[in-house]
Amino acid sequence: MHYVALYWAVMARGGALDLEMTAIAVAISVVVGVLAAIGKLYGGKLLAAIITGYVEVIRGLPPILQLFIIYFGLSQFQINLSPFAAGLLWLILYGIGYAVEIFRAGIAAVAEGQGEAADALGMTRAQGLRRVILPQAWVIMLPSLMTFLVLQVKNTTLLYLVGVADIMYQARLGTSATEQPAIMYGMAAVAYLVINLTLSRLGGVLERRVEASR
């Protein structure tokens, strides 16, 4: 068991890096996702087509290919991103592709009767979205957003392929050094479970809070 003692600190550091990248990426993709969803719903046909095209590309391409295009592909054009920057950029671009659809569906679900009521009062679209539609859409979207958060944590496992020193990276490094794959990947599994189950629980608590306050 001394392997566990030896490696738990680097695993924890890897986990912290995973969490940091996920947090930054999800925060940015949620903000951009809301704006893009609004653009898709209300911004006219051209903007809607561009956003739909983007979502289709992100969903249609394998994640690893997207990551490799950003890290290796761009380097051929003298755009040399660090592993961290490339990994983060991919998480953001990929996250936006998912967040747009979550928000579009959430806004559309609320907008019909509620949007009409806001319109009929003479509120602007921005006022209606901010005061009426988004506060309700958040509640509807909370479960999907939690699923999205956990998905992004899992997606960080791919980042070791471009050299980001995350949990997965440490587990592989540890495996080559110790020849103990069961212990190393077992520790990685525990680390991911701890992170994701904690997030799910927090999400559950949040959902119950929101439900109770309605």
- Among 45, 122, 176, 212, which residue interacts with other proteins (rule: CB under 8 A)? 122
Least CB distance to other proteins at residue 119 (A): 6
Single-letter amino acid code for the residue at 110 = V
The count of C-alpha atoms lying within 13 angstroms of the C-alpha of 34, restricted to the half-sphere facing its C-beta, is 15
Least CB distance to other proteins at residue 207 (A): 15
3-class DSSP state of 177: helix
- Among 119, 186, 193, 204, which residue interacts with other proteins (rule: CB under 8 A)? 119
Site string for other proteins, 181-200 (x = CB under 8 A): --------------------
Residue 24's H or E segment, with its range, is helix 2-42
Radius of gyration of the chain (CA): 20
Contacts of 177 by beta carbon, 8 Å cutoff, 6+ apart: none
Least CB distance to other proteins at residue 173 (A): 49
Site string for other proteins, 132-161 (x = CB under 8 A): x--xx--x----------------------
Nearest CB to other proteins, comparing residues 56 and 119: 119
Contacts of 173 by beta carbon, 8 Å cutoff, 6+ apart: 10
- Among 123, 140, 161, 190, which residue interacts with other proteins (rule: CB under 8 A)? 123
Number of residues that bind other proteins (CB under 8 A): 17
Applying the rule CB under 8 A, the residues between 44 and 73 that interact with other proteins are: none
Q: Give me the residue label for tokens 């559950």.
A: 204
User: Per rule CB under 8 A, is residue 113 in the interface with other proteins?
Assistant: yes
Least CB distance to other proteins at residue 130 (A): 9
What is the Cα–Cα distance from 59 to 168, expressed in whole angstroms? 24
Q: Which of 165, 159, 174, 196 is nearest to 8 (CA)?
A: 174
Residue 66's H or E segment, with its range, is helix 63-68
Binding positions for other proteins, rule: CB under 8 A:
113-114, 116-117, 119-124, 127, 131-132, 135-136, 139, 214
